Every structure is written in C-alpha cells, then in structure tokens.
C-alpha cells in the first residue's frame, strides 16, 4: 500500500542533504497521485452507466489520495523521523562513538524499523 520512498529518505536524513529527503517525498507523492488516478479510472469503468459516476469517481480519487497520504507519508514518515531523532540523541548521550558511526547507526535503526511500522499500516 505504501511506496517506502519517504521512509528510506527519513532513515538516511542524517547522512544525506535535506534536498534528498524532500526528493523522497516527491517520489512518495507521485506514487499517491498515480494510485489515486488508477482508482479513479477503475471507478469510472465500473460506473459507466451510473448517474452518479462523477461523484463516485471523485470519492474514489480523494479517498485513495488521503489514505495514501496518511499511510505512505504522514504516519510512517513521522514515526521514522522520531525514531531516528531519538536514536541519534541517545547514541550521542550514551556512547563515545564518532559522529559518522552514530549517523550510520541511526540510519540502520531507521531502515530496520520500516517493516515493523508498515505492516500494521498496510492492514
């Protein structure tokens, strides 16, 4: 159900420029638009003889886009962001690891959490 681009971008936020993270949002948003368009097209085909066709298509598009925005960007993006921020902070307070090691560890933690937060959202 989700595109995962945003989550990967968030996980690497400590290592890449912020523009790369924003690019991951662009990829995730493009996925949302494509999925919404697809659902709208399918609704249009399913309701060819229906008087309320336009409304049904609009509902399919908006419903899909909102669901994808929450499931692909907002909820997992926020969750990964907070996990990475907390991890980076805790590693800085509890270890004497050099900054590059803490950054890579933070990214690894962020990436490893993706399967755990995506599964409940996709259900």
Which of 34, 32, 36, 35 lies closest to 76 in space, CA to CA?
32
Q: What distance lies between CA 102 and its chain's CA centroid?
A: 24
* Share of residues in the chain with pLDDT > 70 (%): 95
Task: Tell me the whole-structure pTM to 2 decimals.
Answer: 0.79
Distance CA 118, CA 50 (A): 36
Confidence of residue 76 (pLDDT cuts 50, 70, 90): confident
Using only C-alpha atoms, the chain has a radius of gyration, in whole angstroms, of 19
pLDDT at residue 81, as a whole number: 92
DSSP the chain: ----HHHHHHHTTTTS-HHHHHHHHHHHHHHHHHHHHHHHHHHHHHTTT-TTHHHHHHHHHHHHHHHHIIIIIIHHHHHHHHHHHHHHHHHHHH----HHHHHHHHHHHHHHHHHHHHHHHH-
The owner of tokens 């968030």 is 10
pLDDT at residue 1, as a whole number: 42
């Amino acid at each position: 159900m989700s595109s995962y681009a945003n989550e990967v971008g968030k996980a690497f936020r400590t290592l890449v420029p912020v523009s790369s993270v924003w690019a991951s949002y662009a990829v995730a948003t493009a996925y949302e638009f494509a999925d919404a368009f697809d659902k709208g097209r399918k609704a249009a085909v399913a309701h060819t003889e229906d008087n309320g066709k336009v409304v049904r298509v609009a509902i399919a598009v908006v419903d899909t886009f909102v669901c994808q925005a929450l499931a692909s960007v907002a909820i997992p993006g926020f969750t990964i962001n907070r996990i990475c921020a907390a991890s980076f902070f805790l590693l800085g307070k509890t270890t004497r690891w050099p900054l590059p090691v803490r950054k890579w560890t933070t990214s690894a933690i962020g990436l490893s959490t993706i399967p755990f937060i995506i599964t409940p959202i996709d259900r």
